[in-house]
Structure 1
């Protein structure tokens, strides 16, 4: 029995990595998909994969940091499918610039290698852009999508909202990127307040606070890392590996379904990196 048969799910950041895996997993469970991303070519490829599974798909180029584009996307979703049952807020900026890699390597070395205690000098060296660049997509975009999705969910008395957060927002696991960490902490807090707001209308909002996910950006980092840098990373994950997108997607499918009692929870698959 397909868990999400005939449900309509909006998945942001669906062109690759975790978003793609979540969209495909939901299609396999019977959902029709509204796919959102700024990478049109890859988005169309994912759309074709979903239709090959026998489900309907509506790919839409949308920058979630724009409330106008988000509003237009949900309007098209309504025209195509009539409603929205599930929202997965996956779109996010992640710390993968050369400067981010330098700070990440400094952080990992500091917590895995014996050395003199000192300030890492990360926070004090950040520019305004280092701080501000995270908020448009990672926080404002999540809010804009929730607000539009609730226009369908509240009148029908049903909905599932799944916000993709991070252990960066619940711990010091991403000390190398304070702005990213703060943005993901905002997602955690927003999830809890929204959950209390809408639970009485049959809408369950929860967050997945991901640990390391073996997405293309993380794979690029690993491809360029030295063996010592890789050992430093795996040293802080007790299971000794990153999670696969498919492992995270299975949890998203569960939260989108009917067989749970979870409201306002932050569930963190992370291989034991944060316990």
Structure 2
């Protein structure tokens, strides 16, 4: 697999899955536009990409800021001459203490023989709990997609990979209804945009990730009790979380030219959702 001669915009590239995707695409010979709101994380990534012999343009931007997104793509096009690949990875995930409490409640309910009842998750949510997911996880995906398409449509070539989640195609994240709804919106947007632009040789697909061993998930595991960890692993037939590199390899494949995939939601999840 080679992405030689291609430029790839990767949002949320500073750490975790986004960083793994950016590095994997650089290893496949793509030049990288690395976007993240956490600016301090981009320095190390830039150094690693340069060490691979590829160019890296680090851009500190919040993807929910539409003018900032448009400027990033204009600068990237000036730098590399074209935008070939977009990976919409930037997202916020359920890591707040209240969200971890709901997660543990949900996992225990699924894996232990306790009385069936309402978990009270939906009614416990505030307006803020619901609304916080949309600016980055949905609006940011749309802003970046629209900006990228303005370049891809004229050149009649492009690859867009949206990072969705099993949360958006199942009840696997019932502990976080707002996050699940936002990721379902990403899956739906993937399909409608794919149909819109496939005739211009722009292939849009999504990766509906299962559990990924990113720093936030590792932080959760570090605090979890043995029982809470077992409740998680019992839901995954493979018995472990996926590594960022395993997901990144699929992103590299979808960014290439040797496939016939349009508007597909592909879910590597260790068998958690079959």
Q: How far apart are the structure 2 equivalents of 1:180 and 1:62?
A: 22
Report the alpha carbon displacement of residue 68 of structure 1 after superposing the two structures with TM: 0.9
User: Where does 1:210-249 land on structure 2 (aligned, <5 Å)?
Assistant: 210-249=209-248
Report the alpha carbon displacement of residue 144 of structure 1 after superposing the two structures with TM: 0.2
RMSD: 0.5
Structure 1: which 5+ residue stretches go unaligned?
A: none
Question: Cα deviation per residue 1:173-224 (whole Å; 9 max; x = unaligned)?
Answer: 0000000000000000000000000000000000000000000000000000
Report what 2:150 is aligned to: 151
Question: Cα deviation per residue 1:75-98 (whole Å; 9 max; x = unaligned)?
Answer: 110111111000000000000010
Q: Does 1:41 align with 2:40?
A: yes
Report what 2:96 is aligned to: 97
Secondary structure in structure 2 of the residue aligned to 1:130? helix
Q: How far apart are the structure 2 equivalents of 1:207 and 1:127?
A: 29
Report the alpha carbon displacement of residue 130 of structure 1 after superposing the two structures with TM: 0.4
Q: How far apart are the structure 1 equivalents of 2:128 and 2:178?
A: 9
Report what 2:22 is aligned to: 23
Report what 1:81 is aligned to: 80
Report what 2:133 is aligned to: 134
4+ aligned runs moved over 6 Å, structure 1: none
Question: Cα deviation per residue 1:75-123 (whole Å; 9 max; x = unaligned)?
Answer: 1101111110000000000000101000000000000000111000000
Secondary structure in structure 2 of the residue aligned to 1:160? strand
Report what 1:265 is aligned to: 264
Q: How far apart are the structure 2 equivalents of 1:143 and 1:51?
A: 30
Report what 1:70 is aligned to: 69
Q: Does 1:190 align with 2:189?
A: yes
Q: Does 1:172 align with 2:179?
A: no
Give the number of aligned pairs: 274
Q: How far apart are the structure 2 equivalents of 1:3 and 1:82?
A: 19
Q: How far apart are the structure 2 equivalents of 1:270 and 1:152?
A: 33
Report what 2:273 is aligned to: 274
